[in-house]
Amino acid sequence: MKFFVDTADLKEIKDLASTGLLDGVTTNPSLVAKSGAANFVELIREIAAIVPGPVSAEVGATDYETMYEEAKVLAKIAKNIAVKVPLTPAGLKVCKQLSENGTMVNVTLCFSAAQAILAAKAGATFVSPFVGRLDDIGSDGMNLISEICQVYSNYPAFKTEVLVASVRSPQHVVSAALLGAHVATIPPKVIRQLFDHPLTDKGIAQFVADWQKCGQKILP
């Protein structure tokens, strides 16, 4: 499974990229606003220079004509930009045109397997089903991941990768991996939670104590 970090915070991206665990970055208008960046295009350019993998940059418009013009601007920022469009008729029309021109596209705000089929037929590089938001309304977000993975596996011609979004916990990540999702885009806090286990902490404490008792050292 590939790990993308879901943030527009440059400090967080640089820190997590240094671990070697990141395969890409996703942003959205809400995350960009939260970052306080003065220039959206320049922010995306900086992010794309930090992480060599796909960097999702989302259009702001909802109508086809404006969306397509914005998409062309975003695609020119760097070679690793994945233009992010909503799963709407206009968004999929833009997706089809961009994908035919060799531009990566992330189709976002997917909430059904039917929508995911449309994204794949439009040539999306990634489709982003939002598991946390489905859980919030009493639905089962992981059931959607299961359905999409099953449908895509039935049709080898579909090259779209399932990018699990709206991840709220480490268990979301594990469940998505068990179902065969290609990518999870994860908030920085949740990525760091993946490291945590009380038995790991307990084991380290015991090893450190025993090492100190034996009086030996590795470095001169």
Can you give the pLDDT at residue 14? 97
* Residue 84 annotated as catalytic: yes
CB-based contacts of 33, cutoff 8 Å, min separation 6: none
Spatial contact of 110 and 119, defined as CB atoms under 8 Å apart: yes
Q: Is residue 61 part of a domain?
A: yes
With 0-12 CB in 10 A as exposed, 13-18 as middle and 19+ as buried, what is 168?
Answer: middle
In CATH, what number is assigned to the domain containing residue 101? 3.20.20.70
Can you give the pLDDT at residue 149? 98
Q: Letter for the amino acid at 15?
A: D
In 3D space, the residue among 143, 133, 154, 155 whose CA is nearest the CA of residue 179 turns out to be 143
Can you give the pLDDT at residue 54? 98
Number of domains present in the structure of the chain: 1
Domain that holds residue 52: 2-214
Can you give the pLDDT at residue 69? 98
Q: Is residue 69 part of a domain?
A: yes
Q: Is residue 219 part of a domain?
A: no
Q: Is residue 74 part of a domain?
A: yes
Q: Is residue 48 part of a domain?
A: yes
Two tokens at 201? 């902490």
Two tokens at 67? 């969306």
Q: Is 214 helix (H, G, I), strand (E, B) or coil?
A: helix
Per-residue pLDDT of the chain (220 residues; tens, 9 = 90+): 999 999 999 999 999 999 999 999 999 999 999 999 989 999 999 999 999 999 999 999 999 999 999 999 999 999 999 999 999 999 999 999 999 999 999 999 999 999 999 999 999 999 999 999 999 999 999 999 999 999 999 999 999 999 999 999 999 999 999 999 999 999 999 999 999 999 999 999 999 999 999 999 999 9
Q: Is residue 151 part of a domain?
A: yes
Can you give the pLDDT at residue 201? 96
CB-based contacts of 83, cutoff 8 Å, min separation 6: 56, 57, 58, 59, 71, 74, 75, 94, 98, 103, 104, 105, 106
Give the CA radius of gyration of the chain: 20
Q: Is residue 220 part of a domain?
A: no
Can you give the pLDDT at residue 167? 98
User: What does the alpha-carbon distance between residue 68 and residue 49 come to, in Å, rounded to a whole number?
Assistant: 24
Q: Please pick, among 84, 96, 159, 189, the residue that the annotation labels catalytic.
A: 84
Q: Global pTM?
A: 0.94
Q: Is residue 59 part of a domain?
A: yes
Can you give the pLDDT at residue 152? 98
